[in-house]
Amino acid sequence: MLLRSSKIQLPPTLILSAILSVSTICQAEVYRSERPDGTVEYSDQPGTNGQQIEVKPLPIINLPIPSNAPVSQPEAVDSSYTLTIVSPAHDTTIRNSNKALIITASINPPLKPTHQIRLTLDGSPVTQLGKSTQFTLNTLHRGSHQIAAQIVNTTGKTIHTSPSVTVHVFRQSANHK
């Protein structure tokens, strides 16, 4: 298990935390060494100039068991609507996140004159309110994202939300071209 900070673009504290977590579970020894070019390596092998580092046990946090209380619904939910994201499909992988992503929603019955629709990304609104069921997202960061559509009334309250659709954005690293 050899991790080089020059190859993995993660903060050193995150790498060390991961090593410490695994080593605590496995009861393995961890060694730190520095290469001539200044990169730091963590390994389970001592290598030529590796120094063993002390691995402290991680704290254990006991969380309370959640109650079986039902989750409350938002006020003024309008169940007369059927709202779904039809494109992209759930669990779609997007391989080129530099292009705009077109999201299409389906709504039945048509919106009432006092209602508008917007799109949310990871729970936060990302589009303006409007009547269109087609949305364009220009910038999606690498990773998994939840997309949903919301119907909003004139006071700004969300009265209906579509089921979420998950999209996975894959962006090739410059190191792997």
- Over residues 75-108, the pLDDT tens digits come to 455 578 888 999 888 988 887 656 778 889 999 8
pTM above 0.75, yes or no: no
Is 105 found in the same domain as 49? Answer: no
Is 100 found in the same domain as 49? Answer: no
Position 133 in a domain: yes
Higher pLDDT, 88 or 9: 88
Alpha carbon distance 20, 16 (integer Å): 6
**Burial 9-27, CB ≥16 within 10 A → b, else e:** eeeeeebbeebbeebeeee
Strands (DSSP E) along the chain, which ranges?
Answer: 3-4, 30-34, 40-43, 51-53, 82-87, 92-94, 101-108, 116-121, 124-125, 134-137, 143-152, 158-161, 165-169
Is 104 found in the same domain as 34? Answer: no
Position 86 in a domain: yes
Q: Report CA-CA distances (Å) from 95 to 9, 141, 142, 154.
A: 20, 11, 10, 38
Is 91 found in the same domain as 18? Answer: no
Give the structural domain span for 41.
Answer: 3-53
Is 117 found in the same domain as 164? Answer: yes
Please give the tally of structural domains in the chain: 2
Residues in the chain: 177
- Please say whether the beta carbons of 165 and 90 come within 8 A: yes
Is 92 found in the same domain as 166? Answer: yes
Position 117 in a domain: yes
Q: How confident is the model at residue 59, as a pLDDT?
A: 76
Alpha carbon distance 132, 141 (integer Å): 24
CA angle 40, 36, 21 (to 5 degrees): 15
Position 71 in a domain: no
Is 99 found in the same domain as 49? Answer: no
Helix (H, G, I), strand (E, B) or coil at 21: helix
Is 153 found in the same domain as 115? Answer: yes
- Please say whether the beta carbons of 11 and 5 come within 8 A: no
Is 96 found in the same domain as 152? Answer: yes
Q: In the structure, what pLDDT confidence band is assigned to residue 39 with cuts at 50, 70 and 90?
A: confident
- Please say whether the beta carbons of 38 and 19 come within 8 A: no
Is 92 found in the same domain as 167? Answer: yes
Position 109 in a domain: yes
The CATH number assigned to the domain holding 161 equals 2.60.40.10
